[in-house]
Structure 1
Amino acid sequence: MTNSIRSHLVVAVLTLVTMLAFAGNSLLTRLAFQTTHIDAALFTAVRLGSGAVVLFALLRARPRPRANAREAWLSAALLFVYAAAMSYAYRGIGTGAGALVLFAAAQVPMAVYGYRHGERTSVLGAVLAFGGLTAFLRPWNASPTLGAAALMAVAGVAWGLYSLRGRATESALQWTANSFICTVPMALGWLLLTAHAISVDTLGMAYAALSGGITSALAYVLWYWVRTRMSATGAGAVQLSVPVFGVLLGALILNEPVTAYSLAAGAVTLAGVALVSIKTRR
């Protein structure tokens, strides 16, 4: 096996792990609001705070130069908007449907950026990916409320912009840690503004901590590493696989039904993602 093939294989495997972690984020968030009484502001604060603690500990073990403060705060603002909007949205939208809106919205800024910088991709792949996702969620009986869908779209756009900002970073760990650490005062400030609605739930906080420390913080470091090794369009397209993984995880953990129709639509989606990832070029 040549070094080039081995390198591409490593990127592909780590990308798959990252997408599974992103699906885990949707699952944990939905699980918290479906089975516990935690409120969205507290969930967001615990999630971001846990991520900051984990990444700060990693930085202490591997100290690196400080990043530009202004850049860190701008990225942190996008990260906070994404996390907060996602938390509030998942109070009224299902796991797979929420992931669909989230990552479809994230495609918009990433695709626009890629097109403006000369990237071209497979039209067939894009059609298969979007068409497969539409078909994949069609059998669902529960339709999201307009407010929840709009909030999830806001979260998706913020996530897309956040991903783009980290494309040129030299240290995925440093960049992600700075972003999470700078979100802490934002999350605490929002928590104070919504103090009248705080609802403490131990299990809900555990879900938030797991989401923040593992499927967010560590997964985002991994995402920035693989993100720098793919195009903007390809990075956006590969995230369209997350709703598929989200529903599969929901079936395994929350006993949500999965039909042969859904599996076929999911296979079409993944085929489209593969085409876009392979064919995207400048």
Structure 2
Amino acid sequence: MIRTLGLTLTALAAFAANSVLCRAALDASALGGAAPDAAAFTALRLLSGAAMLSLLLALRAPLGPALKRAQPVSALALLAYAGLFSLAYLDLDAGIGALILFGAVQTSMFAGALWMGERPPLLRWIGAGFGLAGLAWLAAPGASAPPPGASLMMAGAGAAWGVYSLRGRGSSRPLADTAGAFVLAAPLGAALWAVAWALDAAPGLGGREAALAVASGALASGCGYAVWYAALPRLEASMAAVAQLAVPLIALAGGAVWLGEAPSPRFWVAAALILGGLGAATLAARRRG
């Protein structure tokens, strides 16, 4: 139990770090008004993640046999998540983006849990309901509502991440499976970057932004996702979904400290609902345990 908790908390911190690193790299105001390059960030993130994971895997066992087990569906879900995530963060603050992302993750993973025959207890349903209520409150029309286009892309990223996480619940070799997904997804990400560059839609990255993309890919994504795949087989799908609702608050703290992003009153109401939902889901898990 303690090991599972440690793995889960480490993974959640890595997820929040990705939101802060991506927003820091793609914030036009921080770049002096220059056009950020979401395609380049995505490609470099996937390539550096693939390189780091391949290195770690090669230190433990031959690389070839492990990569033959790579699952194309997991790789496509990873690519869709990473691409939509970067595009959405062109217009969303770190905390708000994470809130939308993991609200969508919760929805997709709950649906997947039901599809696989899992029957969450009542308190976990209540927790999920509070979490979705918080997401609905955040996205409701109004002066402080986030941009609808960016919100929709982030919700799509969340659905893709939900698929990736559900597939990870059956992983018996988390490092190899995560490496395989990154190795398959990275060339596709690079190809999309090349297409964007050919269409003059990819202005490139500066040294600072490239370093943030590498940190996001090699550490927060590559290592963080391997830790998440190690935790997932020990978690019920519905509990894994609700646990990730803690990420927006971690991302908010990071955004406030490093990016100077001030949360709106609407965010705090949504965050209170989500924390209440997380508490209910955790209580349900303890009662079942």
TM bucket (normalised to shorter chain) is 0.7 to 0.9
Within-5 A mapping of 1:127-138: 127-131=129-133
Which consecutive unaligned segments of at least 5 residues does structure 1 have?
1-7
Alignment correspondent of 2:219: 214
Amino acid at match of 2:238: T
Which of 4, 23, 34 lines up with 1:30 in the alignment? 23
CA displacement at 1:277 relative to structure 2 = 3.5
Which consecutive unaligned segments of at least 5 residues does structure 2 have?
none
* Deviates further, 163-172 or 105-114: 105-114
Within-5 A mapping of 1:177-216: 177-195=179-197, 196-200=200-204, 201-216=206-221
Alignment correspondent of 1:103: 102
Matched, 1:154 2:156: yes
TM-score in terms of structure 2 length: 0.85
Matched, 1:19 2:12: yes
* Deviates further, 192-201 or 122-131: 122-131
Amino acid at match of 1:205: A
State the alpha-carbon separation in 2 of the partners of residues 258 and 100 from structure 1: 12
Identity, % of aligned positions? 35
Within-5 A mapping of 1:166-181: 166-181=168-183
Write the deviation string for residues 130-170 of structure 1: whole angstroms up to 9, x where unpaired: 445667899x9643222111111111100000111111111
Matched, 1:249 2:247: no
Matched, 1:272 2:277: yes
Is the contact between residue 50 and residue 179 of structure 2 (CA under 8 Å) also seen in structure 1?
yes
CA displacement at 1:108 relative to structure 2 = 2.0
TM-score in terms of structure 1 length: 0.87
State the alpha-carbon separation in 2 of the partners of residues 78 and 265 from structure 1: 27
Which of 5, 10, 15 lines up with 2:3 in the alignment? 10
- In structure 1, the residue corresponding to 2:189 is in which secondary structure? helix
Alpha-carbon distance change, 19 to 137 in structure 1, aligned in 2, over 3 angstroms:
farther
Matched, 1:54 2:56: no
State the alpha-carbon separation in 1 of the partners of residues 57 and 5 from structure 2: 26
Is the contact between residue 96 and residue 137 of structure 1 (CA under 8 Å) also seen in structure 2?
no
Is the contact between residue 40 and residue 84 of structure 1 (CA under 8 Å) also seen in structure 2?
yes
RMSD: 2.6
- In structure 2, the residue corresponding to 1:188 is in which secondary structure? helix
State the alpha-carbon separation in 2 of the partners of residues 155 and 112 from structure 1: 16
- In structure 2, the residue corresponding to 1:227 is in which secondary structure? helix
Alignment correspondent of 1:113: 112
CA displacement at 1:110 relative to structure 2 = 0.9
Is the contact between residue 238 and residue 274 of structure 1 (CA under 8 Å) also seen in structure 2?
no
Amino acid at match of 2:234: R
* Deviates further, 94-103 or 47-56: 94-103
Matched, 1:232 2:220: no
State the alpha-carbon separation in 2 of the partners of residues 101 and 231 from structure 1: 22
Is the contact between residue 136 and residue 266 of structure 1 (CA under 8 Å) also seen in structure 2?
no
Is the contact between residue 237 and residue 276 of structure 1 (CA under 8 Å) also seen in structure 2?
yes
Alpha-carbon distance change, 57 to 149 in structure 1, aligned in 2, over 3 angstroms:
same
Amino acid at match of 1:188: A
The alignment of Structure 1 onto Structure 2 pairs a total of residues equal to 274
- In structure 2, the residue corresponding to 1:168 is in which secondary structure? coil
* Deviates further, 170-179 or 10-19: 10-19
